[in-house]
Amino acid sequence: MADAATAERTTTLPRTPPQILGPFYPFMHTPTDSGDLTGGGKAKGTILYLSGRILAADGQPVAGAKVEIWQANAAGRYAHPNDDNVGAPIDEKFNGFAVTTTDGQGRYAFKTVRPAAYPAAPGRWRPAHIHFSVTAKYEQLVTQMYFKGGEYNETDSWLNSASRKDLLITDPKPADGKEPGAQAVTFDIVLTRG
């Protein structure tokens, strides 16, 4: 009979499903490396403290992984020349693109705003989400994080194409000890090898 330590080592975590890079990857912008996309809290919308760990399928933390995020602002607009959602304003205080590197325990953290849904085509909307690109030693994963109960989650073809969409949906909670109304969410990402 295997002991608990052996059983723990043989546990395999489900890999985070890949998602599309999307049409609004901010290739023309320099990502902020401070972890704060809110311009020091000046951006409009609900502050969101986003953190998590990058793990290999065997549960080991992936240290030194590059984690990029990009997203729409609180009005559902990307600071991208191809975003024709002109009914939503651009927030000059919001930097919708950031990068960080995981620490020795595989942890990352960002301070951002909760994004809004936006029209993707006539009669079709994308639910609120945040894009991730994780580049580690052996692999790169592009995925998206969604919000529990998000409007349009059930009709979004990208979210619903995921083999395990439950692994992409988070449930924000009040961010205790932070700005009034701020939320916090944890989003762990599992790679195959790291």
Residue-wise pLDDT tens digits, 28-76: 889 999 999 999 999 999 999 999 999 999 999 999 999 999 999 999 9
pTM assigned to the model: 0.93
Q: Is position 29 annotated as part of the catalytic site?
A: no
Q: Is position 108 annotated as part of the catalytic site?
A: no
Which is the catalytic residue, given 15, 49, 77, 78?
Answer: 78
Q: How many domains is the chain built from?
A: 1
What is the extent of the structural domain holding 90?
Answer: 9-191
Average model confidence (pLDDT) across the chain: 94
* Max Cα distance, the chain (Å): 63
Q: CA nearest 120: which of 89, 153, 83, 88?
A: 83
Q: Cα separation of 54 and 46, whole Å?
A: 25
Degrees, nearest 5: CA angle 170-157-83: 85
Which is the catalytic residue, given 77, 80, 114, 131?
Answer: 131
Report strand pairing: 124-126 vs 47-56: unpaired
Task: With beta carbons less than 8 A apart as the criterion, state whether 133 and 142 touch.
Answer: yes
Report the CATH number that the domain containing residue 37 is assigned in CATH. Answer: 2.60.130.10
With a CB cutoff of 8 Å and minimum separation 6, the contacts of 45 are 73, 74, 75, 91, 94, 113, 114, 116
Residue 123 pLDDT level (bands cut at 50, 70, 90): confident
| Residue 3 included in any domain | no
| Residue 2 included in any domain | no
| Residue 123 included in any domain | yes
Average pLDDT over every residue of 127-137: 98
Which is the catalytic residue, given 53, 77, 80, 129?
Answer: 129
| Residue 1 included in any domain | no
Which is the catalytic residue, given 15, 53, 114, 126?
Answer: 126
The reported pLDDT for the residue numbered 10 is 63
